[in-house]
Amino acid sequence: MVLIRDRAHAEIAQAIEEEARGTGATVTSFVMEEWVERPAREFPLELARQIRAAQPSASFFIGGGQPGELSFRQPMLRLLTGELRCRHGHMIGIDDQLMQDGMAADYEQIYVTTRRIFEIVRQAARIDVFTALGTELHARFSDQRRWVSCDGRYHEQGRWGNLPEGEVFTAPESLEGVIVGEEMGDHFASRYGRFEEPVRIEIAHNLARSVSMPGHPEIVAEIENYLAQSPNSSRVGEFAIGTNIGLTQLVGNFLQDEKFPGVHIAFGDPYGAETGADWAAPSHVDVLASHADVLVDGHKIMSNGRFLP
């Protein structure tokens, strides 16, 4: 097993390393700051060489996210899951609370729920989403794109997911409407947690057209700059439904909160290797709308964040 971590997450990484060694695994650990200056804007070639030399079949990333570090994590994921076919646990932003909450949930129940929702949505032509905060999304899907079941079981080589786990996602063919988000991913998660005021992003023809957050023009400017990084950075690349039914509340850590029953979408990279999308972006940022009503081809499967029978 290969484990890549940053200095701030040494204790959690050590616990996981000890558990791995307890199974008989050989573990090779790398500390980000010993290889690259933070924020890490590249994945060092020598680090990649040493990871290849370790010949891992499983891997973990355990660390925080800083602005621009997708340029480190994307090549890392391609190496670990694409080239080396590792079974990979991605734990960006993990903390002690999540280890004792989302990671300690009943993953048998999460698996059953996730697979049930996956079987419903994987043939969907349209999904509509509404929340009390004002989210109204209308998404259409193509049978040329794949849905991905993130059920916590990485039994096949090359499978990976964000831990804690529990969601289904794909790259939508089109999405229109507005999302009123309580949290955002990437570095926004560690910087702001849950927003004091939700962010409102209007979407037309699959692109973010406007961003607003009353009283916080500096956050609006930061989000607008993020979405302007590249031509595809403002394009909707992901539509996801959280399926971790063991979670009872939002905790302000996006790594877990995106798995809370509800909906999140992401602007930027569509994870084309998994979804089959034929485009890419150098950025990817999620926006969460929890406690949602979700209708799949007119049939309601979720009411206020609760899955219906």
Q: What's the CA gap between 135 and 286, in Å, rounded?
A: 15
3-state secondary structure of 29: strand
Q: Read off the pLDDT of residues 4-48 as tens digits, 9 standing for 90 and up.
A: 999 999 999 999 999 999 999 999 999 999 999 999 999 999 999
Amino acid occupying residue 259: K
End-to-end CA distance of the chain: 40
Decide if pLDDT at 146 tops 90: yes
3-state secondary structure of 24: coil
pLDDT band at 251 (very low <50, low <70, confident <90, very high): very high
Write down the residue that tokens 């602005």 correspond to: 67
User: Quick one: pLDDT at residue 96?
Assistant: 95
8 Å CB contact between 88 and 77: yes
User: Quick one: pLDDT at residue 141?
Assistant: 98
> Domain residue spans in the chain?
2-92, 104-307
| 135: nearest Cα among 86, 46, 216, 198 | 198
Decide if pLDDT at 205 tops 90: yes
What percent of the chain has pLDDT above 70?
Answer: 100
pLDDT band at 188 (very low <50, low <70, confident <90, very high): very high
3-state secondary structure of 245: coil
User: Quick one: pLDDT at residue 32?
Assistant: 98
User: Quick one: pLDDT at residue 190?
Assistant: 86
Q: Read off the pLDDT of residues 72-109 as tens digits, 9 standing for 90 and up.
A: 999 999 999 999 999 999 999 999 999 999 999 999 99
User: Quick one: pLDDT at residue 100?
Assistant: 93
pTM, entire model = 0.87
In the predicted model, what is the mean pLDDT of residues 241-254?
94
| 260: nearest Cα among 190, 183, 189, 201 | 183
Helix, strand, coil shares of the chain, percent, nearest 5, are 30, 30, 40
Q: Which residues contact 184 (CB under 8 A, 6 or more apart)?
A: 192, 195, 199, 223, 254, 285, 286, 287, 288
In the predicted model, what is the mean pLDDT of residues 64-77?
93
Mean pLDDT of the chain: 96
Structure tokens at 20: 């791995």
pLDDT band at 122 (very low <50, low <70, confident <90, very high): very high
User: Quick one: pLDDT at residue 157?
Assistant: 97
Decide if pLDDT at 210 tops 90: yes
State the DSSP string of 134-202: S-EEEEE--TTS--EEE-S---STT-EEESS--EEEE--SEEEEEEEESEE-THHHHHHSS-SS-EEEE
Q: What's the CA gap between 192 and 176, in Å, rounded?
A: 26
Decide if pLDDT at 116 tops 90: yes
Write down the residue that tokens 């916590």 correspond to: 152
Write down the residue that tokens 């794109």 correspond to: 145
